[in-house]
C-alpha cells in the first residue's frame, strides 16, 4: 500500500497509527500541503478533494478521508466491534470528531503552528476555542467512567480522537483541566506498536 500524507497532519497520523498497529507494510509519500502539493493535477487524480491522507490500496485504487480509511483498514479486526450498536457508536464518535472536534481543535493548531494568525483568523480564534473546549468537555464527561470510547476496548474511535487531542496544546488548548482525557491519552500511547506523530 502507498500512503500520501503530510507528517504534521493528525488526519494522516490516524492512518499511520492504524497501519503500524495492524502491522500492514506501506510506502510513505510526503505531500507538502504548504507548497500546494495536494492541489496538483497528479494529486487531484488521486483525490479530487485535494487533501491528504490518501491511501492507495492497490495500483490505481485510492481511498481518502481519514476515518473512512481507518474503517477500511480495521474492518474485521478487534479495533472494530462486532456488535452492531457498538459499531455504530464507533461511527458516532468518528462523526463527532469530524464535525465538533477537528474543525476547531485541529484548525486552530494549524493556524498557530503553520499559517500564523492573520486578523481574519484572530477574529475566529475565540469562537473556535469555545467550540474546541466544548468538544473536550464532551470527551471528558464520557471518559470519566470509561477506559476507552466504546465498549471499554481500544477501537478506531480512540485512534480518530487521539490524533488531534494529544497535540491540542499546540493550538493553545489547556489539557490540564481534563484529567480523564489525560489518563486516556496515556492509555492510548501505551498500546503496543504506538508511534509518535512525527514518524512517517
47 sits near ligand GSH (criterion: CB under 6 A): no
Query: Footprint of ligand GSH on residues 1-30 (CB under 6 A)?
Result: 6, 9, 11
Q: At what angle do helices 84-96 and 156-165 cross, to 10 degrees?
A: 20
Q: Does residue 104 belong to the site contacting ligand GSH (CB under 6 A)?
A: no
Least distance between ligand GSH and beta carbon 194 (Å):
20
Secondary structure in 3-state letters for 22-60: CCCCCEEEECCHHHCHHHCHHHHHHCCCCCCCEEEEECC
Choose, by CB under 6 A, the member of 52, 55, 150, 185 that binds ligand GSH: 52
Residue 65 binding ligand GSH, by CB under 6 A? yes
Contact window for ligand GSH (CB under 6 A) among 63-71, 122-130, 175-183, 188-196: 63-71
Tell me whether residue 101 is exposed, middle or buried, using C-beta atoms within 10 angstroms of its C-beta: 0 to 12, 13 to 18, 19 or more. buried
Three cell numbers at 154?
Answer: 481500544
Q: What is the spatial distance between Cα 21 and Cα 77, in angstroms, rounded to a whole number?
A: 11
Q: Which is nearer to ligand GSH, 72 or 187 (CB)?
A: 72
Q: Closest CB to ligand GSH among 98 and 191?
A: 98
Element (H, E) at 145: none
Binding test (CB under 6 A) with ligand GSH, winner from 24, 39, 123, 194: 39
Instruction: At 103, give phi and psi (nearest 5°).
Output: -65, -15
Kindly list the residues in this chain that would bind ligand GSH in the complex (CB under 6 A): 6, 9, 11, 33, 38-39, 50-53, 65-67, 98
Amino acid at each position: 500500500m502507498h500512503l500520501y500524507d503530510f507528517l504534521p497532519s493528525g488526519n494522516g497520523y490516524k492512518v499511520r497509527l492504524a497501519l503500524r498497529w495492524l502491522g500492514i507494510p506501506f510506502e510513505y509519500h510526503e505531500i507538502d500541503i504548504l507548497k500546494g502539493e495536494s492541489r496538483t493535477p497528479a494529486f487531484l487524480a488521486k483525490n479530487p478533494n485535494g487533501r491528504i491522507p490518501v491511501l492507495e490500496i492497490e495500483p490505481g485504487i485510492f481511498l481518502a478521508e481519514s476515518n473512512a480509511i481507518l474503517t477500511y483498514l480495521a474492518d474485521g479486526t478487534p479495533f472494530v466491534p462486532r456488535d452492531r450498536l457498538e459499531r455504530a457508536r464507533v461511527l458516532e464518535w468518528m462523526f463527532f470528531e469530524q464535525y465538533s472536534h477537528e474543525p476547531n481543535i485541529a484548525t486552530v493548531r494549524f493556524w498557530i503552528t503553520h499559517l500564523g494568525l492573520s486578523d481574519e483568523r484572530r477574529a475566529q480564534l475565540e469562537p473556535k476555542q469555545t467550540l474546541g473546549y466544548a468538544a473536550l468537555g464532551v470527551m471528558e464527561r464520557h471518559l470519566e467512567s470509561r477506559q476507552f470510547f466504546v465498549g471499554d476496548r481500544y477501537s478506531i474511535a480512540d485512534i480518530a480522537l487521539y490524533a488531534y487531542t494529544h497535540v491540542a496544546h499546540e493550538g493553545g488548548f489547556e489539557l490540564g483541566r481534563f484529567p480523564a482525557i489525560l489518563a486516556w491519552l496515556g492509555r492510548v500511547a501505551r498500546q503496543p506498536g504506538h508511534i509518535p506523530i512525527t514518524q512517517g
